[in-house]
Structure 1
Amino acid sequence: MCTFILAFQAISMILFSTMASIKGIMCQFKYFVRLQKIIIEEEAMLLAWNDQKTKEIYTKHTKYSKKLSKFFLLAAGLAASVLVEMGCTNSYKVYKMEKRVNVSLEKPLPLKLWYPWDKNRYHILTIMSQFLDIAVTAFYVAVAQIFTTTLLIFLRAKLQIMQHQFRNFDRNFNNRDIITNGVETVRMLCVKHQNLIELINSVNEALRNIIFVEFSMSSVMFAAGILQVIAGQDLLLNIEFSISMISFLMLLAWNANEIREQSSKLAMALYESKWYEQKHNTKAIIHFMIIGCQKPLSINIGPLGPITVDAAMSRIRLAYSYSSVMSGEK
């Protein structure tokens, strides 16, 4: 393998570990804990509503979130298992070789890391330490991905529920006769809309740095995986790693993009309501709400603008360009 591919592999491993550490540390900030409490309270209010359609929307998104969480855990666990299996297999081959030739050989390790002791002499200790590092890193990656994606799915569910409420604002959602007072009902929904905007802005502020780190590093890591596949190095591991990187990035972009898409449908949901049956002052409030809903809400990649599927695809194309140029230099 060429020297630059080895260097690229080392850079990729450093970036991946750094990204996992940064995301894991950020998710433990007090700001995130406070955000989790707000979302738990919001969820309790959603489940307390007696409207069946609202519960159906939320249940659908809950099931979707659970499926993605299982996928993230499976993908991270599979990558860690492949890496551990490779370490065990390579070590066993070297031990068999040592017995056959009766010469001490350099022991292979899954990760090329520095240790303050002789790695050959204390090979068992070193490789067990690496297995622990691999397990912890995989856990942090999966949990951070689950946390980020679950937040986005929750916001998407809230937006779809708000569309339902806008479209049917003349209905009784909380066992109260709100039909007799259209102005109060619309004002209540206007307050809920403002609260949802504040919640999305809070999530955006909390996630923008995490997402910026992921988008910034993903191209280099994906390109490194492709290069190693082209070079025929650790095919199973690098194929699984590349597929996981693409899946994580595209799922993140898809769910973030859905917030933008669903928020843009709020104005149409109001227009599809029975606003024409309301009094003049109620119609005026609805008119201003429709104007306010024209601007879509979005989750941003730090200072680089909103997350979209096109933004994720551009990262993948950039990684492919990296790998094409580097493989041409072999």
Structure 2
Amino acid sequence: MLRRTENSRMSSILKLSRYSMVLVGIWRFPISENQLIQTTYFTYSIFMQIFFFLLLTSMSIQFVTMTKADKNAGISPEQLFTTFAFIINCSIIQIKVILCQTKRLKALISYILVTEKELLRLKDTEIVQNHMQLSHFCQISNLAIAYFTFGVALSIILGNASERHQTEKYNSIYNTTLEKPFPYQLYYFGTDTQKHTKLLLVVNYFCVTVAGSMFVSTQVVFISCIIFASSILKSLQIKFRKMSAARTNLLQFLRKLILEHQDVIAFVGKLNYSVKYLILLEFLLNSVNMASVCVQLITSQRNMFLAFPIFYCVLFVTLTFMLGWSANEVKVQSLDLTDAVYGSPWYEENVRVRKMVLLIMMRTNRALTLTVGPFDAMTTQSALTIMKASYSYITLVARSYH
């Protein structure tokens, strides 16, 4: 049974994030009042994280082994590139998994849980409806990321099954013993791959599923946090526009709004500090990843292998524009606070109130931004820049095939 004090009215913005983080064992809040269930979950959490770390370690060892292998081993440059790409992407996921369990992110999630419960208890239907609309949009966006991610995972599994079938068919026709490929190039620590093929195949497919689940959980939580910041800023705009309704105690009402605004500033600042370098890495790698899979899409002559590049491209286009748009909304909504304050009848109030309102407008003129590393703010223009870079890489690599 969920804890009534915190989880019975679970944040709608964090709903999918919570479920996905619980699934992969990185949710750092109590999931039950039952101690046995909580202990079981803690054990499961340790297992999942050790398993993913071993996956990354095994892949890294195998990559080093492949680079040192002689020419007779039959290792193609494409296998090396694919394995290296998997290592880079899994390394970023590993960093995000660690980040999701830090005190900083736990504090951000706690702030969302508490603030949203207070917000939904407000009698102002406009604020509540605005927040629920953004929550609904957040869930749709997160579900889209989850569907496309598992589309990628399923295409890897089905593509590998097809490759294994074709290899088996080739062996039977030409009476050869070519080794059937696995989805991942892993180091099996001396395990006989021929003797334990079925077991290793199950392990590989489980690795694909775990990697996909880890990717989803670490992506949707950050997107949910960004959308939450937009929601709170919109709520503040509504409150500022309606501040004339608090004429009996307007100064106290303004002080409360100033404190709320400071909380949002701190929230966005901490979120930006946590993710700005990860966003930089993702933006740099996304363009290369999309370029590589687009080349696969262009050059592949087998229809079965088209599913992976299609799902992969759709996933990263969706993710890139989702990050760019949601971060851009935070910037836009923070600047729109000035218009909301100015649009209220502040000029009808006494001198003390007018001075306070002017100070508020001076502060709201500074945009709240999420940055791409130490560089400029992340916006929809940043997402377009990634798409342009991907197109440049695609045209460059595609020309080498002609």
With the length of structure 2 as denominator, give the TM-score of the two structures.
0.75
Deviates more, 1:229-238 or 1:52-61: 229-238
2:313 aligned with 1:239, yes or no?
no
8 Å Cα contact 2:83/2:184 also seen in 1: no
Q: Distance in 2 between matches of 1:10 and 1:96?
A: 25
Partner of 1:164: 238
Question: 1:212 and 2:277 equivalent?
Answer: no
Check 1:256–1:183 CA distance in 2 against 1; reply closer, same or farther (3 A cut). same
**Matched AA of 1:71:** A
Asked if 1:225 corresponds to 2:283, the answer is no
**Which of the numbers 212, 231, 241 marks the counterpart of 1:138?**
212
Secondary structure of the 2:311 match is helix
Query: Shift of residue 294 of structure 1?
Result: 0.8
The answer to whether 1:53 aligns with 2:126 is yes
Map of 1:248 onto structure 2: 319
Offset of 1:197 from its aligned partner? 1.0
- In 1, distance between residues paired with 2:92 and 2:209? 15
Q: C-alpha distance in 2, partners of 1:11/1:220?
A: 12
Distance 1:7 1:327, change over 3 A: farther
Deviations 1:148-180 (A, max 9, x none): 110011000001000001111122xxxxxx321
Cα distance in 2, alignment partners of residues 304 and 222 from structure 1 = 22
Q: 2:150 aligns with which of 62, 77, 81?
A: 77
Q: How far is the alpha carbon of 1:68 from its aligned partner? A: 1.3
Return the alpha-carbon distance in structure 1 between the equivalents of residues 322 and 166 of structure 2.
39
Partner of 1:313: 384
- Tell me if the contact between 1:300 and 1:307 (Cα under 8 Å) persists in the aligned partners: yes
Distance 2:272 2:146 in 1: 24
Runs of at least 4 residues of structure 1 off by over 6 A?
Answer: none
Match of 1:174 in 2: none
Equivalent-residue separation in structure 2 for 1:4 and 1:96 (angstroms): 24
Residue 304 of structure 1 corresponds to 375
* Secondary structure, aligned partner of 1:302: coil
Alpha-carbon distance in 2 for matches of 1:124, 1:6: 22
Match of 2:61 in 1: none
3-state SS of paired residue (1:111): coil
Alignment partner of 1:16 out of 78, 89, 95: 89
Count of residues in Structure 1 that have an aligned counterpart in Structure 2:
322
Q: After the TM superposition, which of the residue ranges 158-167 and 20-29 deviates more from structure 2?
A: 20-29
C-alpha contact 1:219 1:319 (8 A) present in aligned 2: yes
Q: Distance in 2 between matches of 1:11 and 1:96?
A: 29
Q: Is the 8 A contact 2:237 2:340 kept in 1?
A: yes
RMSD, matched Cα: 1.9
Change (3 A) 1:8 1:99: closer
Match for 2:299: what amino acid? A
Q: 8 Å contact 1:9–1:224 — kept in the other structure?
A: no
- The answer to whether residue 206 in structure 2 is matched with residue 153 in structure 1 is no
Q: Select the residue among 26, 31, 37 that pairs with 2:110.
A: 37
Whether 1:108 and 2:176 are equivalent positions in the alignment is no
Between 17-26 and 146-155, report the one with greater CA deviation: 17-26
Counterpart of 2:332 in structure 1: which amino acid? Answer: E
Structure 1 residue 103 displacement after superposition: 4.0
| TM superposition shift of 1:184 | 2.0
Unaligned residue ranges in structure 1 (runs of 5+): 172-177
| Bigger relative contact order (CA 8 A; separation at least 6) | 1
Contact 1:182 1:278 in 2 (8 A): no
Structure 2 residue ranges without an equivalent (≥5): 1-75
Does the 8 A contact of 1:26 with 1:210 survive in 2? no
How many angstroms apart in 1 are the aligned matches of 2:94 and 2:296? 24
Give the superposition deviation at 1:14: 2.5
Supply the AA of the counterpart residue of 2:348.
Answer: E
C-alpha contact 2:251 2:353 (8 A) present in aligned 1: yes
- CA offsets 1:292-330 (integer angstroms, 9 cap, x no match): 111111111221221011112112211221222222223
What residue is the counterpart of 2:160 in the other structure? 87
How many Å apart are 1:121 and its aligned residue?
4.1
TM-score by length of 1: 0.91
Cα deviation digits, residues 56-99 of structure 1 (max 9, x gap): 11111111111112111111111111111112222233334445
Residue by residue over 1:250-284, the C-alpha shift from the partner in whole angstroms, topping out at 9 and shown as x without a partner, is 11111011000111100000111011221111011
Identity over the aligned pairs, expressed in percent? 23
Conservation of the 8 A alpha-carbon contact between 1:223 and 1:320: yes
Q: How far apart are the structure 1 equivalents of 2:198 and 2:168? A: 12
Give CA-to-partner distance per residue, 1:89-142, whole Å, 9 cap, x none.
222333344455554322122233333334344322222221111101100111
Q: Which residue of structure 1 lines up, in the alignment, with residue 365 of structure 2?
A: 294
